[in-house]
Amino acid sequence: MRYTVAGLLGAATRDLERSGISGARNEAEILIGHVLGRRRADLYAGSDGPVTLAQAAEIDKMVAARCSGSPLQYITGVQSFRRLALRVGPGVLVPRPETEMLVERCLELLEGLRSPRILDIGTGSGAIALSLATERPDCRVWATEISEDAYRWADRNLELTGAANVELYFGDLFSPLPKTERGNFDLIVSNPPYLSQEVLAAAPAEVREHEPEMALLSADAGMATSIRIIREGFDWLAPGGRMVMETAGSSQWHDLSIWFGKRYKSVQITSDLAGRPRFAEGRKP
């Protein structure tokens, strides 16, 4: 049998559509482009050209995995995030576009600071830590992560990025950090787990059944980890240091601004691209 790009694109799109994947054509292009090592825009040039049997089998396997609900990025093994192509797979959260805005906010807060010291809590794939380290090469970044699997992904991404200004620590929130860094950070950033049981139960199966619960779920209506970071992080900030974190939006931003207001100044909420209040921040006096 002779396989062509056009034929495989048609078949993959149909299979993905039947499995209820929205944007099936788009995803078929990504999967096929990934196996053939071609950019999506180049798939159509010579789309009647031959594809080897091994490539067709690989595409088939990937389409089947996607049809059974595995996140697209776990299948291709990569997610682009700002300037980086991060390696991802089972055991780590796929970084989301709104978190790119969290990084943007961090960069704004760092303006005017020389050689800032930054801490990323719950680094996952390393998305925030590595973006800041590469986009502000004069900074130093410390990052912590409690999941062994996620830590391994962050470590791999750190190696691939080659950033020499990032240190990864394995453990709970601030506990693995060198005590000498207490009170030294100019910025603490986090995209913590913030979903409640109810919200997670209503999330798409692709998220609920494949992405790690530890990255998504937090006690006390999704607020427990965020509140711990606000409370414990205060002592790790330098005077004038900032803390900024992603929230679930909804009513969480309001409750978090109250928690910030207990000890921090300049408490502020900023919105994501969709205009939803998303990022809560405060400054240590």
Ligand X SMILES: C[S@@+](CC[C@H](N)C(=O)[O-])C[C@H]1O[C@@H](n2cnc3c(N)ncnc32)[C@H](O)[C@@H]1O
Which residue in 71, 116, 193, 282 binds ligand X (CB under 6 A)? 193
**249: Cβ–Cβ under 8 A, 6 or more apart, which residues?**
272, 276, 277, 278
CA dihedral over 277, 117, 107, 239, signed as positive or negative = positive
Nearer to ligand X, 122 or 277 (CB): 122
Nearer to ligand X, 260 or 279 (CB): 279
Which residue in 33, 116, 122, 241 binds ligand X (CB under 6 A)? 122
Segment contacting ligand X by CB under 6 A, of 57-65, 188-196, 234-242, 248-256: 188-196
Segment contacting ligand X by CB under 6 A, of 20-28, 117-125, 132-140, 235-243: 117-125
> Is 137:110 a contact under the CB 8 Å cutoff?
no
Nearer to ligand X, 131 or 257 (CB): 131
**70: Cβ–Cβ under 8 A, 6 or more apart, which residues?**
206, 210
Residues touching ligand X, count (CB under 6 A): 23
**30: Cβ–Cβ under 8 A, 6 or more apart, which residues?**
40, 72, 76
Q: How far is the CB of 146 from ligand X (least distance, A)?
A: 4
- Tell me: does residue 150 bind ligand X (CB under 6 A): yes
Q: Which amino acid is at 54?
A: A
CA dihedral over 101, 131, 128, 139, signed as positive or negative = negative
Which residue in 76, 125, 161, 247 binds ligand X (CB under 6 A)? 125
**x-marked contacts with ligand X along 128-147 as a string, rule CB under 6 A:** x---------------xxxx
Q: How far is the CB of 126 from ligand X (least distance, A)?
A: 8
> Is 174:236 a contact under the CB 8 Å cutoff?
yes
Nearer to ligand X, 147 or 247 (CB): 147
Segment contacting ligand X by CB under 6 A, of 5-13, 120-128, 158-166, 259-267: 120-128
Of 54-113, binders to ligand X (CB under 6 A) are 93, 95, 99
**188: Cβ–Cβ under 8 A, 6 or more apart, which residues?**
118, 119, 121, 229, 233, 236, 237, 241, 242, 243, 244
> Is 14:20 a contact under the CB 8 Å cutoff?
no
- Tell me: does residue 248 bind ligand X (CB under 6 A): no
What is the Cα–Cα distance from 258 to 231, expressed in whole angstroms? 12
Q: How far is the CB of 203 from ligand X (least distance, A)?
A: 13
Nearer to ligand X, 51 or 177 (CB): 177
- Taken as a whole, the chain contains a residue count of 285
- Tell me: does residue 191 bind ligand X (CB under 6 A): yes
- Tracing tokens 């980890």 back to the chain, one arrives at 225
What residues make contact with ligand X under the rule CB under 6 A?
93, 95, 99, 121-125, 127-128, 144-147, 150, 172-173, 191-193, 214-215, 225
